[in-house]
Amino acid sequence: MMQRLIDHLLDRQERTLGQSMDWLRALYAASPKGFWQFTRLRGMLRHREALPHTVWAVAHLTAAQVEDCGPCVQIAADEALRAGLTPEEIRAVLAGDDSRLDPESILMRRFVRAVCEHDPESETLRREIHAAWGSKGEVDLALAIIGGRAIPMLKRALGHAVACSTVPVALGTSPLRPDMRQP
């Protein structure tokens, strides 16, 4: 009974995201308890209290890109579209083209890369973030970074590195329902 429920939920997730959830099926098959622990973690990593949705989406997208997981970047790009970013802004984030981004998106992109690359500049950028959104914004951002990186790491650790292959990101072609494209 539980296996049928999991299969149904993962089938629906695949249709919604347009990406394979075989790695989650494997996680459940190996450890149902680990699977349920992961679902609790996933909820925490989606937390957003102070950051505007577009800013959070830039951070999440950048973190997924750092992990070089094509399907995860595609999911994050689709989410950024739903958050209100334009395809041009998403392309600019992915290309690192700050000339086409607003100051908040530039700050997010630079901070995420600095944190992920252990760049000391991250502390200076963190202070800017704190000045703009306070401690709650820092928490939102930290969890967005972890969320963007956690799933690609988990997939690789479970032997599903092929699922993290680099793919060209297609904007505006997602299988997402039209009603899901708005924040």
Give the Cα separation of 113 and 108 in Å (integer): 9
Q: Is the pTM of this model over 0.85?
A: no
CATH superfamily of 2-180: AhpD-like (1.20.1290.10)
Render pLDDT for 130-179 as a digit per residue (tens, 0 to 9). Answer: 999 999 999 999 999 998 898 888 888 888 866 555 556 666 655 443 33
Among 33-37, 43-47, 108-112, 116-120, which is the least confidently predicted range? 43-47
Structure token digits, residue 117:
């690359």
Contacts 24+ apart (CB under 8 A), 65-68: 65/93, 65/94, 65/148, 66/112, 66/113, 66/116, 66/117, 66/148, 66/149, 67/148, 67/149, 67/152, 67/153, 67/164, 68/152, 68/164, 68/166
